[in-house]
Structure 1
Amino acid sequence: MQMISTRVATSNRVRVWDIGVRLFHWSLVTMFAATWFLTDPRSLHRNLGYVVIGLISFRLVWGLIGSKHARFADFVPSLGQLFRFVRDVFLGRETRYLGHNPLGAVMILALLTTLGGICGTGYMMGMDAFFGAEWVEDTHKALVNLALVLIAGHLSGVIFTSLRHRENLVKAMITGEKERDL
């Protein structure tokens, strides 16, 4: 009698983005788009902004207590790491990261800061002390425009990195998984 050997294939996939990071990401995408398109009635725009404030607050806490790749300590680079990574990108030899690469980390910080500024100025616009203050509304609009530029940069980086490393980063942000080794 011949014995048939069966081999269990081990997956090369690893969980990178936990459910908190993924829900935050896609909820923020949805809320930013909704607040950008739905400026009227103002009460709806304001309430969506409050949801964004809640999402940012969650992400700041999750950046301290979340899973490994969610933590700021895991991915915020030093200036040296950032400059070496940028150099290596231009030389076509950058390291692939399971979590955020140094440019992606800086983009996250820039987006969170900009969105926080948008929320702060939006909140100020509803306060009596700042009612009608043109500089607050001008700053709010300028920060929204900056966010749009940063989002375009973020999307460009996702596309560039996905092509360069032959991996679907959008799918990874949906499933939470990436290939351990490519």
Structure 2
Amino acid sequence: MSGTDIKNSGRDGARTVRVWDPLVRFIHWVVVLGVLVNAVFTDPEELPHEFVGYAVLGLVILRLVWGFLGPKPAKLSSFPPSPGAAVSHVREIGRGDRLVHLSHNPLGALMVYNIWLTLLVICATGIMMGTVTFFGVEWVEELHELAFNWLMLSIVLHVLGVVLDQRRTGVALVKAMISGSKKIPDGWSIK
């Protein structure tokens, strides 16, 4: 496991593995906050909504750049989007394989790329609504709303996936996204 710190946690045989660096965790939680603020607290017709949108756009772009420059677990190559790998992962779960992915599992990887792409569509259409209207603004507004609704569904599925994976593996994923380390229970292999 080059580039990853692994240490035994104690008597339970669990291993603690350093996974997500501070920048990845910061971006994750600030984007969560930005989506929440714009979904619940800001008026879409006012400047604070735009400012939050620009901040989210900047953070998503920064995360994608960090996906090339950051440490190994943050690299996009550590969790490429692969429907085939996602299907294999579902089969592994069905067989009862005891495997924990250091970064995102293949289903989680697909969700991460889906959320990033959806956020980029939301930001692009939001910018388009406030600027040039070559083809009329109605379709842009509809796409913005459709992408937002898709994002809300994706977030629900993402949270559900986290809960199910935590129950299956015993790895506290939310805690890991706060601390940066995953505690892998004894008897589980690391991929």
After TM superposition, give the deviation of residue 15 of structure 1 in Å.
0.9
Percent identity, please: 42
Q: In structure 2, what is the equivalent of residue 3 of structure 1?
A: none
Residue of 40, 60, 74 corresponding to 1:37: 40
Q: Which residue of 2 aligns with 1:116?
A: 120
CA distance in 2, matches of 1:39, 1:144: 14
Q: Structure 2 matches for 1:45-124, cutoff 5 A?
A: 45-93=49-97, 95-124=99-128
Local SS of the residue matching 1:23: helix
Counterpart of 2:23 in structure 1 is 20
TM-score (ref. length: structure 2): 0.84
TM-score, normalization: structure 1?
0.88
Q: Residue deviations 1:12-56, cap 9 Å, x none?
A: 312101001100100100001111123425111011100011001
In 2: Cα distance, 1:128 partner to 1:82 partner: 39
The question of whether the paired residues in 1 share the 8 Å contact of 2:85 and 2:106 is answered with yes
Which letter does structure 1 place at the counterpart of 2:102? L
* SS of residue paired to 1:64: helix
Which amino acid in 1 is paired with 2:152? L
Q: How does 1:128-147 map to 2 (within 5 A)?
A: 128-129=132-133, 133-147=137-151
* Cα distance change on mapping 1:152 and 1:121 into 2, 3 Å: same
The answer to whether the 8 A contact 2:100-2:169 is kept is yes
Label 1:94 to 1:117 Cα distance change in 2 as closer, same or farther (>3 A). farther
Q: Which has the higher strand share?
A: 2
Distance 1:87 1:99 in 2: 19
Question: Would you say the 8 A contact 1:85–1:94 is kept in 2?
Answer: no
Checking the alignment, whether the CA contact within 8 Å between 1:28 and 1:52 is kept in structure 2 is yes
* 2:169 paired with 1:169: no
Superposition CA RMSD, Å? 1.9
**Structure 2: gaps of 5 or more residues:** 1-6, 10-14, 187-191
CA contact (8 A) 1:124 1:130 kept: no
Aligned partner letter, 1:17: W
- When residues 67 and 89 of structure 1 are mapped into structure 2, their CA distance, relative to the original with a 3 A threshold, is same
Structure 1 Cα separation of the partners of residues 136 and 83 of structure 2: 40
Which residues of structure 1 form unaligned runs of 5+?
1-8
Partner secondary structure for residue 179 of structure 1: strand
Cα distance between partner residues in 2 of 1:130 and 1:33? 31
The aligned residue for residue 3 of structure 2 is none
Length, aligned pairs only? 174
What is the identity, as a one-letter code, of the residue corresponding to 1:36? Answer: A
